[in-house]
C-alpha cells in the first residue's frame, strides 16, 4: 500500500537544481551547529569535549541507529529525516549495549556492542545498501532552513538553562533533582542490581534509562558525568526530538512546511500568557533540564507514535514488530507517563477503524497489546513504592493554580483527602463558577496546543483520531490524578508535542497568505501587548476573575475588530478564510510567547546565590576529589542529609554528596526513597520531611561523626563496608576524635574526607 511517505515532496525548480550541490544543502545545518557550540563555549564547556561529544553522538548514536532503522523499517528518502529518526532509534541501540555492560559488569561490552553493529553493516552484503538512499526524495531547501531556525532556538533555550546552572565547583544551589539524577548517572556506571545511591541497600525502582544514556555517553567519551549531564547531553536529545516530531507532522499532513512549523510550535512555543506574570499549569516546555527522564522520553515516544500511525494507515511493519515491545519497555523505563496517552490514542483510532470497517482491526489490537506490555513491564521493572502514590482525584491539579490555592484551596492540605479536593467539594455556587472559569482560562491559554482537537483533518484521516486521542489522554490524566509532587503534570507535558503537531497540521494550505498574515499579527500582539495580567491585591473570586479575564477580553475585542475590518474589505473571502486565520493567530501567538520568554530570560539577572541552601565551592571540590580517588564500588558515610545543612526540621533532599562524589552513601538524603514517599502525610508531614527509613543505621551514622568512637567506626567499616567518610562541619559538629580512628585524605573549607583503612 502506498503511504504519504512514498510520495516525494513537491520542490521548486530552483530546489531541483540544487539537489546536486551537497555543500549548498548542508549550509543550513551549520547555523544551529555554530549556535549550539557558541552557547556551550559561552558557559564554560571545553572546546575539546564539545568536539569529542559531537563525534561520539554521530558515530555511536546517529549512525548505528540510522542503519538499524533503515534495515528494519526503510528510508524516508532524505538524509535529514533518516538521521533524525535514526538518532532516536540509536538511543535504543545504545541502551542495549549499556544493558549488556551493566548486567555483566564488563564495561568494554558497551563500545564493543556499538562496534559490532557497525561492523555488521559493513561485513554483510545485504546490509551494505543501508549506507545509502536507494530512492532519493529530497526535501525542499526551505525545509532545511526552517529546521535550522528551530534548532537554533532550541540552542538559545539551552543557554537559559546553562546560564542558571554553573559548572562545579562553584558556590551555588542546584535544583535537588539535578543532584538526584547525577547520582543515578553514577549508579548506572556500576553493575546490576542497582541501588538507591543515597540509601545503601535499597533496591532502585525508578525510570532511570535517561540516566543510563548519560552514563553511556560518559563511559564512551571519557568525559565527566557532571559535564555530560550539565552541558553536553541536553541539546542533542532535544534536537533529535525536533526531527522526530517534524517527521511526524509531515507524515500526518503530507506537506513539507508543517514539519518545521510543528517542531517550532512544540519546542519553541508556549501557552499564551499575554505578557502577564501568571503562567498557567502546563505552560512550559515538553523538555526539561531538571527532568532528564521527561526529555529523553520525548523522541522515543515520538518514534513509537510515528510507527503506530503508519501501521494504522496500512503500512506493513514486518520485522519492526519484533522491536516494538523493546521500544515500549524503554519508553516506560524513560518516563512512566508517556505510554498511557499513546495507549489511549491507538485505542481510540482502533475503535474508529472497528466502527468503519465492521471488522476487527488486528493491527490496532497488536499495537495496543504491545503498549500494554510496555506499561506492565515498566511497572514491574522500574516502578517502586513512590510510583504507587499516584491517586485518583479529579481537579487535583487546581492545587497548583494560584487563584485556587489562595481562595478555595487554602484548606486542601498535603494529602489526597476525599474524591474531590477539599476546596472543590466544599465550593458553593459562586465557587463552582470560579472553578469553571479557571478551567476555561486554562483551555484558552493552551489554545495553541488544543485547537487541533476541534478541527478534523481532511479525508477522515485516522491520524486525527490517534493523535487526538493521545492529547485527550494526557490532558485527562492531568486533571484526573493527584500526586504529592504534582507529577501528574508530566502526562500533559508528554503530549504537548503531539498537540502542537495536530494544531499545525489542521491549518489548510488554502488561504496561505491570510494564515501568514494572521500568524504575524498574533506574534506581534503577544510581543508588544502591554502587561495586562496583574496579581490582585486581595484574594477574592472577583479580583482574581478580573485579573485573569482582562487580557482575554482585550484580545477578543481586537480579534473581532480585525475580523470585522477584513469582512468589510474582502466580504465572502474573509468569512471563508476566518477559521484558518484564527488558527494561525494562536499558533503565531504561542510561538512568539515562547521566543519572547527565551529572550527575556537571557536578559534577566542571573539567579542569586542563597547562602543558607547553597553548596560551597569548597564542598564541591571535596566531593569531586572523592569521585576522582575512591573506588567505583566504595561506600561513603556522610553527615550531610538536609537542606539547609543545619536545618532543625530536615528537608532530606540534599543529594549532592552522592551526586558529585559519585559513590553510594550509607545514608545521605532519603526523600525519594520508597518508604519516605509512601509515608507522605504521616504526622502531617510531606514525604521529604519524614524521618530516615532505618533509625538504627541513621543513629550509628550520626554518632560516628559527632563522637568519633572507635567501636562505631569499626562497625561502619566491618559490618556495612564503609570505606570513606565525608564530613561537613556546616551540617553538624565533627568530633576531633575522628582523626584518631580515620585518616584525613582531603580538607577544604567545611568539608573533610577521611579514609577508613582496614585493620592490619
DSSP assignments along 653-711, one per residue = ---HHHHHH-SEESBS--TTSHHHHHTTTGGG--GGGSPPS-HHHHHHHHHHHHH--HH
Residues with Cβ within 8 Å of 291's Cβ and at least 6 positions away in sequence, in order, are: 177, 490
Residues with Cβ within 8 Å of 347's Cβ and at least 6 positions away in sequence, in order, are: 364, 368, 469
Distance, CA of 143 to chain centre: 25
The answer to whether residues 597 and 632 belong to one domain is no
579's grid cell:
477559521
Write the DSSP symbol of residue 410: G
Task: Give the pLDDT confidence score for residue 9 in this predicted structure.
Answer: 46
The answer to whether residues 642 and 598 belong to one domain is no
The answer to whether residues 537 and 671 belong to one domain is no
Is residue 84 in some structural domain?
yes
The string of pLDDT tens digits covering residues 712-730 is 999 999 999 999 999 999 9
The answer to whether residues 686 and 729 belong to one domain is yes
Q: Is the pLDDT of residue 24 over 50?
A: yes
Q: Answer yes or no: are the C-beta atoms of 196 and 202 closer than 8 Å.
A: yes
Q: Answer yes or no: are the C-beta atoms of 633 and 197 closer than 8 Å.
A: no
Which of 251-255, 508-512, 634-638, 726-730 shows the lowest mean pLDDT across its residues? Answer: 508-512
DSSP assignments along 179-219, one per residue = HHHHHHHHHHTSPSSPB-TTBTTPBP-S--HHHHHHHHHHH
Is residue 4 in some structural domain?
no
The answer to whether residues 577 and 649 belong to one domain is no
Is residue 738 in some structural domain?
yes
Is residue 702 in some structural domain?
yes
Task: Give the pLDDT confidence score for residue 21 in this predicted structure.
Answer: 67
Q: Pick from 477, 381, 154, 418: which is nearest to 287 by CA?
A: 154
Residue 118 CA to residue 393 CA, distance in Å, equals 50
The answer to whether residues 94 and 165 belong to one domain is yes
Q: Pick from 547, 705, 735, 597: which is nearest to 267 by CA?
A: 597
Task: Give the pLDDT confidence score for residue 741 in this predicted structure.
Answer: 95
Q: Pick from 760, 759, 735, 755: which is nearest to 743 by CA?
A: 755
Number of CB atoms found within 10 A of residue 504's CB: 29
Q: What is the mean pLDDT of the chain?
A: 91
The string of pLDDT tens digits covering residues 543-597 is 988 888 887 777 777 777 777 766 666 666 666 677 787 788 888 888 888 888 8
Cα within 13 Å of Cα(20), Cβ side: 2
Residue 665 CA to residue 348 CA, distance in Å, equals 47
Q: Is the pLDDT of residue 6 over 50?
A: no
Residue 99 CA to residue 90 CA, distance in Å, equals 14
The string of pLDDT tens digits covering residues 162-214 is 999 999 999 999 999 999 999 999 999 999 999 999 999 999 999 999 999 99
The answer to whether residues 82 and 38 belong to one domain is yes
Query: How many independent structural domains does the chain possess?
Result: 3
Out of 225, 244, 263, pick the residue that ends a domain. Answer: 244
Out of 189, 224, 244, pick the residue that ends a domain. Answer: 244
- Widest CA span in the chain: 96
Task: Give the pLDDT confidence score for residue 23 in this predicted structure.
Answer: 73
Task: Give the pLDDT confidence score for residue 493 in this predicted structure.
Answer: 95
Q: Record the pTM.
A: 0.94
- The H or E element spanning position 339 is helix 339-357
What's the whole-number mean pLDDT along residues 659-680?
95
Which of 325-339, 376-390, 495-509 shows the lowest mean pLDDT across its residues? Answer: 376-390
Please state, for a pLDDT cut of 70, what percent of the chain lies above it.
93
Give the chain's radius of gyration (CA, Å). Answer: 27
Q: Pick from 600, 597, 594, 598: which is nearest to 263 by CA?
A: 594
Q: Is the pLDDT of residue 8 over 60?
A: no
Task: Give the pLDDT confidence score for residue 553 in this predicted structure.
Answer: 78
Out of 602, 631, 662, pick the residue that ends a domain. Answer: 602
Query: Counting Cβ atoms within 10 Å, is residue 96 exposed (0-12), middle (13-18) or buried (19+)?
Result: middle
The answer to whether residues 162 and 101 belong to one domain is yes
Q: Pick from 357, 350, 307, 349: which is nearest to 331 by CA?
A: 307
The answer to whether residues 127 and 211 belong to one domain is yes
Q: Pick from 553, 538, 455, 551: which is nearest to 502 by CA?
A: 455
Residue 15 or residue 248, greater confidence:
248
Please state, for a pLDDT cut of 90, what percent of the chain lies above it.
76
The answer to whether residues 53 and 77 belong to one domain is yes
DSSP assignments along 433-502, one per residue = HHHHHHHHHHHHHTHHHHGGGGSPPGGG-HHHHHHHHHHHHHHHHHHHEE-TT-TTHHHHHTTHHHHHHH
Q: Is the pLDDT of residue 255 over 90?
A: yes
The string of pLDDT tens digits covering residues 45-104 is 999 999 999 999 999 999 999 999 999 999 999 999 999 999 999 999 999 999 999 999
Sheet with strand 743-748: strands edge to edge: 664-665, 635-638, 722-728, 751-755, 743-748
The answer to whether residues 125 and 237 belong to one domain is yes
What is the domain extent for residue 94? 21-174+204-244
The answer to whether residues 59 and 208 belong to one domain is yes
What's the whole-number mean pLDDT along residues 476-497?
95
Beta-bridge partners for 751: 728, 748
Is residue 414 in some structural domain?
no
Residue 212 CA to residue 382 CA, distance in Å, equals 13
Amino acid at each position: 500500500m502506498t503511504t504519504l511517505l512514498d510520495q516525494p515532496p513537491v520542490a521548486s525548480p530552483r530546489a531541483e537544481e540544487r539537489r546536486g550541490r551537497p555543500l549548498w544543502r548542508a549550509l543550513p545545518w551549520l547555523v544551529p551547529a555554530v549556535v549550539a557550540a557558541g552557547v556551550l563555549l559561552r558557559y564554560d564547556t571545553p572546546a575539546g569535549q564539545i568536539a569529542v561529544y559531537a563525534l561520539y553522538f554521530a558515530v555511536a548514536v546517529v549512525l548505528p541507529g540510522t542503519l538499524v532503522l533503515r534495515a528494519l523499517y526503510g528510508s524516508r528518502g532524505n538524509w535529514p529525516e533518516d538521521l533524525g529518526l535514526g538518532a532516536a532509534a540509536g538511543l535504543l541501540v545504545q541502551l542495549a549495549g549499556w544493558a549488556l555492560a551493566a548486567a555483566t559488569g564488563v564495561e568494554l561490552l558497551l563500545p564493543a556492542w556499538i562496534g559490532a553493529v557497525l561492523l555488521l553493516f559493513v561485513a554483510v552484503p545485504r546490509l551494505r545498501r543501508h549506507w545509502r538512499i536507494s530512492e532519493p526524495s529530497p526535501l525542499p531547501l526551505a525545509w532545511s532552513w526552517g529546521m535550522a531556525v528551530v534548532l537554533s532556538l532550541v540552542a538559545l533555550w539551552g543557554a537559559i538553562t546553562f546560564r542558571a546552572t554553573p559548572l562545579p565547583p562553584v558556590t551555588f544551589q542546584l535544583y535537588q533533582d539535578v543532584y538526584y539524577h547525577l547520582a543515578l548517572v553514577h549508579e548506572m556506571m556500576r553493575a546490576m542490581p542497582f541501588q538507591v545511591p543515597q540509601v545503601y541497600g535499597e533496591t532502585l525502582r525508578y525510570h532511570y534509562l535517561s540516566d543510563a544514556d548519560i552514563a553511556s555517553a560518559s563511559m564512551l567519551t571519557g568525559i565527566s558525568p557532571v559535564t555530560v549531564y550539565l552541558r553536553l547531553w541536553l541539546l542533542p536529545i532535544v534536537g533529535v526530538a525536533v526531527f522526530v516530531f517534524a517527521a511526524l507532522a509531515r507524515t500526518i499532513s503530507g506537506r513539507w512546511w508543517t514539519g518545521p512549523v510543528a517542531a517550532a510550535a512544540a519546542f519553541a512555543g508556549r501557552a499564551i500568557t499575554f505578557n502577564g506574570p501568571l503562567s498557567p499549569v502546563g505552560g512550559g516546555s515538553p523538555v526539561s533540564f531538571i527532568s532528564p527522564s521527561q526529555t529523553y522520553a520525548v523522541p522515543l515516544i515520538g518514534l513509537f507514535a510515528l510507527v503506530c500511525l503508519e501501521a494504522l494507515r496500512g503500512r506493513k511493519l514486518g520485522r519492526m514488530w519484533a522491536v516494538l515491545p523493546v521500544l515500549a519497555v524503554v519508553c516506560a523505563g524513560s518516563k512512566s507517563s508517556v505510554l498511557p496517552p499513546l495507549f489511549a490514542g491507538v485505542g481510540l483510532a482502533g475503535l474508529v477503524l472497528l466502527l468503519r470497517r465492521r471488522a476487527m482491526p488486528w493491527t490496532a489490537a497488536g499495537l495496543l497489546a504491545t503498549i500494554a506490555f510496555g506499561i506492565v513491564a515498566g511497572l514491574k521493572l522500574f516502578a517502586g513504592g513512590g510510583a504507587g502514590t499516584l491517586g485518583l482525584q479529579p481537579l487535583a491539579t487546581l492545587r497548583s493554580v494560584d487563584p485556587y490555592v489562595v481562595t478555595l484551596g487554602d484548606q486542601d492540605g498535603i494529602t489526597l483527602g476525599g474524591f474531590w479536593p477539599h476546596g472543590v467539594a466544599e465550593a458553593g455556587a459562586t465557587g463552582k463558577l470560579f472553578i469553571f472559569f479557571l478551567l476555561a482560562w486554562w483551555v484558552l491559554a493552551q489554545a495553541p496546543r488544543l485547537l487541533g482537537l476541534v478541527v478534523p483533518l481532511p479525508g477522515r484521516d485516522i491520524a486525527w483520531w490517534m493523535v487526538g486521542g493521545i492529547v485527550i489522554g494526557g490532558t485527562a490524566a492531568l486533571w484526573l490524578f493527584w500526586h504529592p509532587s504534582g507529577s501528574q503534570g508530566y502526562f500533559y507535558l508528554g503530549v504537548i508535542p503531539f498537540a502542537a503537531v495536530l494544531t499545525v497540521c489542521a491549518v489548510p494550505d488554502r488561504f496561505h497568505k491570510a494564515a501568514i498574515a494572521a500568524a504575524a499579527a498574533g506574534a506581534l500582539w503577544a510581543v508588544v501587548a502591554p502587561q495586562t495580567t496583574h496579581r490582585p491585591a486581595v484574594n477574592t473570586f472577583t479580583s482574581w476573575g478580573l485579573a485573569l479575564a482582562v487580557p482575554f477580553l482585550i484580545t477578543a475585542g481586537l480579534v473581532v475588530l480585525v475580523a470585522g475590518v477584513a469582512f468589510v474589505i474582502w466580504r465572502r473571502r474573509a468569512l471563508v478564510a476566518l477559521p484558518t486565520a484564527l488558527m494561525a493567530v494562536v499558533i503565531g501567538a504561542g510561538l512568539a510567547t515562547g521566543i519572547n520568554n527565551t529572550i527575556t530570560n537571557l536578559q534577566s539577572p542571573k539567579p542569586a546565590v542563597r547562602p543558607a541552601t547553597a553548596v560551597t565551592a569548597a564542598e564541591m571540590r571535596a566531593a569531586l576529589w572523592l569521585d576522582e580517588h575512591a573506588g567505583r564500588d566504595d561506600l561513603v558515610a556522610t553527615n550531610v542529609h538536609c537542606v539547609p545543612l543545619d536545618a532543625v526540621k530536615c528537608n532530606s533532599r540534599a543529594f549532592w554528596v552522592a551526586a558529585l562524589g559519585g559513590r553510594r552513601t550509607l545514608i545521605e538524603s532519603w526523600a525519594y526513597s520508597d518508604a519516605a514517599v509512601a509515608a507522605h502525610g504521616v504526622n502531617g508531614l510531606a514525604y521529604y520531611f519524614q524521618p530516615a527509613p532505618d533509625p538504627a543505621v541513621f543513629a550509628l551514622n550520626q554518632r560516628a561523626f559527632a563522637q568519633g568512637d572507635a567501636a562505631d567506626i569499626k562497625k561502619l567499616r566491618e559490618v556495612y563496608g564503609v570505606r570513606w567518610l565525608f564530613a561537613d562541619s556546616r551540617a553538624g559538629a565533627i568530633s576531633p576524635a575522628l582523626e584518631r580512628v580515620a585518616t584525613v585524605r582531603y580538607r577544604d573549607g567545611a568539608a573533610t574526607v577521611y579514609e577508613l583503612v582496614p585493620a592490619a
